[in-house]
Structures are given as C-alpha cells and as structure tokens.
Amino acid sequence: MTGSDVAGKKATGTGSPEGSTPEGSAPDREQPGRLRRVARLLLLPRLRRVDVAVAVLLGLLGFAAAVQVRSNQDEGLLASARQEDLVRILDDLSSRSVRLRQEVSTLTATRESLTGGSGRDAAALAEARRRSQVLGILAGTIPARGPGVLVTIRDPQGKVGADVLLDALEEMRDSGAEAVQMEGSVDASGQPTVNSPSARVVAGTAFVDAADRGGVEVGGTLLRPPYRFSVIGDPATIAAALAIPGGVIDNVEQRGGHADVVRNDSVLVGALRALDRPRYARPADQSTGN
C-alpha cells in the first residue's frame, strides 16, 4: 500500500472506525427511549377534564337509578296490598294521631294548672297522684281495668315459642296496648283456671324458651299452652293490627297453632309485679349535673 492510498482512506473516513458516523446509528440509540415513552402513555393514560366529568356523571346516574329502584320497591309493598289492609293501616295511623293530640292537650292543661297562681298546690298534688297511678300501671305494681282484647293462642304441636309470643306482644304495643297480662294453661274456652299461672308484662319482662319443661318463661314464671294475653287498649286498633296478613295470627298458624282475638269492654289486668330495688342506679341531681 502506498502513502497516497493511506492518505486517501483517511480523507474519506473508510479506513478507520474511529470518528466514523454510519447512517442509522443515532436513531438506533433513540429507539429505546421512544419505546419507553409509548409504554408509559399506554399504561398511564392522562385523565382529561372531559373524562373526569363523564365519570362523575356516570356515578350520579348510577346513584339516582339505585334510589329510584328502592323507592319503587317500597311503593310496591303498598301498591300490592289489599284495600282492607290499607284501611287498617290508615285506621292505625289515625288512632295514633288522635292519641298523640290528646296527650299534647293533657300536658298543656297540666302545665297551665301548675303554673297558675290560684290552686297551684292542689293541682300539683292531684298531678302527683295521677302520675303515681300511671307509673304504677306501667310498672305493673297496681291492677288495671279497661277496654281491650283477649288473645288466646293454642299450640298443639308445641312450636309456638318465645319469639312468636314476643312478636305478638310488640305488635300489640305498637297498636296502643297500655297494660298486658299473660296467663298459661287456660281451659278450652280460653279462660284461666284456678291454678293457671299468670305474669304481668312490662318493659323489662323477658320471654325465654323452656321447651324442655313444655312452655315459655315469662318474667321468670313458667307458662304452658294454651296461652292468653289480657290486653287493655283500643280494641278495634289492636284487633286490626293482629289480623294484618303476615302478622301475628298468620305467624301462629304457620307454627301449627291457632289464635283467637275477642274484644272486651272490661278487661282486668290483675297480676302484679314486685319492683326490684336498683343496685347501682341512683336519682341524679339535674340542677348540678351530678
């Protein structure tokens, strides 16, 4: 190789790899960076304001649809009810409204008599006696008499347990029962015999299954079927509430039993309950907050 040939190769850049820049070398180095950017755009797309607005609108639409479906279901219960059931429900609501208005009127008159100038001491004494009688009836420490219903529940198969009896009690309370007594082992006509045990039912009365002894414990007293509820309250309202389809009477019949409801103008609730002295609770001084 002559000196002129070596000089020619250096001039053209074809004889040595150093300093050479072949075509395609720069794009080859930039290609991995482009791939990473494309992958990042595909995996983490940018949320535009339009996308956020569409997502919010879809969420609101779903919430509105769920509310509408639930509202239609609630309305469907009343829409599918019979006219007799709707009339009973309306009567129950009307009776509750009347009782509440009467209670408001009584409390207003009591407040006016207690805050009046003349006869204030006599009004306070009369109000204290009245409250003592009311609390005695609610606590089960004094007997009560008034209009109401007699509910006899027969259980030939022994499947009417404490849950059914408690549901019956709650239904009667919801319909305005003011005093309740329960007897066990009544005769064929539903009347308690001489040896029939009884229990006064108040707010703290417990219903406990005692199938091994053939009955139910009510407030610690063992009662065996047939059972009878003696209830003081509005007879029409309580009887209608017990007869609502799917209510107490249907529930008893599903357990193989039978329930009879008899209205009575003079129901006696004579069983008494002894008050237990509270172990921990003491009257609080409202003036000092202690």
Q: Are residues 149 and 265 in the same domain?
A: yes
Instruction: Render pLDDT for 3-17 as a digit per residue (tens, 0 to 9).
Output: 445 444 444 444 444
Token couple for 276? 């237990």
Number of structural domains (the chain) is: 2
Residues 6+ apart with CB under 8 A from 186: 152, 192, 193, 196, 226, 227, 228
Calpha distance 257→78 (Å, rounded): 28
Q: Of 123, 139, 155, which residue sits at a domain end? A: 139
Q: Are residues 100 and 169 in the same domain?
A: no
Q: Are residues 164 and 189 in the same domain?
A: yes
Q: Are residues 207 and 254 in the same domain?
A: yes
Q: Return the amino acid letter for 198.
A: S
What are the Cα distances from residue 50, in Å, to 42, 46, 63? 18, 11, 20
Q: Quick check: is 99 in a domain?
A: yes
Q: Are residues 113 and 206 in the same domain?
A: no
Mean pLDDT of the chain: 78
Q: Quick check: is 9 in a domain?
A: no
Q: Are residues 187 and 252 in the same domain?
A: yes
> Residue 76 half-sphere exposure, CB side, CA atoms within 13 Å?
6
Q: Quick check: is 132 in a domain?
A: yes
Model pTM? 0.57
Q: Of 139, 166, 201, which residue sits at a domain end? A: 139
Residue with the two structure tokens 């009369």? 126
In degrees to the nearest 10, what's the CA dihedral of 49, 53, 55, 56? Answer: 140
Instruction: Render pLDDT for 125-153 as a digit per residue (tens, 0 to 9).
Output: 777 888 888 888 888 889 999 999 999 99
> Residue 207 half-sphere exposure, CB side, CA atoms within 13 Å?
17
Calpha distance 14→83 (Å, rounded): 105
Calpha distance 254→264 (Å, rounded): 27
Q: Residue 73: what pLDDT? A: 57
CATH code, domain carrying 189: 3.30.70.1880
Q: Residue 100: what pLDDT? A: 83
Q: Are residues 182 and 256 in the same domain?
A: yes
Percentage of the residues of the chain whose pLDDT score is greater than 90 = 33
Instruction: Render pLDDT for 251-282 as a digit per residue (tens, 0 to 9).
Output: 999 999 999 999 999 999 999 988 778 888 88
Instruction: Render pLDDT for 184-198 as a digit per residue (tens, 0 to 9).
Output: 988 877 788 777 899
CB neighbourhood size of 227 (10 A): 26
Which one is predicted more confidently, 1 or 129? 129
Q: Are residues 258 and 165 in the same domain?
A: yes
- Reference 272, options 142, 147, 173, 115; nearest CA is 142
Q: Quick check: is 283 in a domain?
A: no
Q: Are residues 132 and 206 in the same domain?
A: no
- Residue range(s) defining the domain that contains residue 226: 144-269
pLDDT at 200 over 80: yes
Q: Residue 49: what pLDDT? A: 62
Q: Are residues 230 and 162 in the same domain?
A: yes
Instruction: Render pLDDT for 27-76 as a digit per residue (tens, 0 to 9).
Output: 555 566 666 665 565 555 555 666 666 677 777 777 777 776 666 555 55
Q: Quick check: is 188 in a domain?
A: yes
Burial class for 252, CB neighbours closer than 10 Å (0-12, 13-18, 19+): buried
Instruction: Render pLDDT for 67-103 as a digit per residue (tens, 0 to 9).
Output: 766 665 555 556 666 777 777 777 777 877 888 888 8
Q: Quick check: is 221 in a domain?
A: yes
Q: Quick check: is 21 in a domain?
A: no
Q: Are residues 214 and 228 in the same domain?
A: yes
At residue 191, the 3 state secondary structure works out as: coil
Query: Cis before residue 226, ω within 30 degrees of 0?
Result: yes
Model confidence band, residue 18 (pLDDT cutoffs 50, 70, 90): very low
Ramachandran class of 204: left when φ > 0, alpha when ψ lies in -120 to 50, beta otherwise: alpha
Instruction: Render pLDDT for 221-248 as a digit per residue (tens, 0 to 9).
Output: 999 999 999 999 999 999 999 988 888 9
Q: Are residues 104 and 156 in the same domain?
A: no
Q: b/e string for 160-178 if b means 16 or more Cβ within 10 A?
A: bbbebbbebbebbbebbbb
Q: Quick check: is 58 in a domain?
A: no
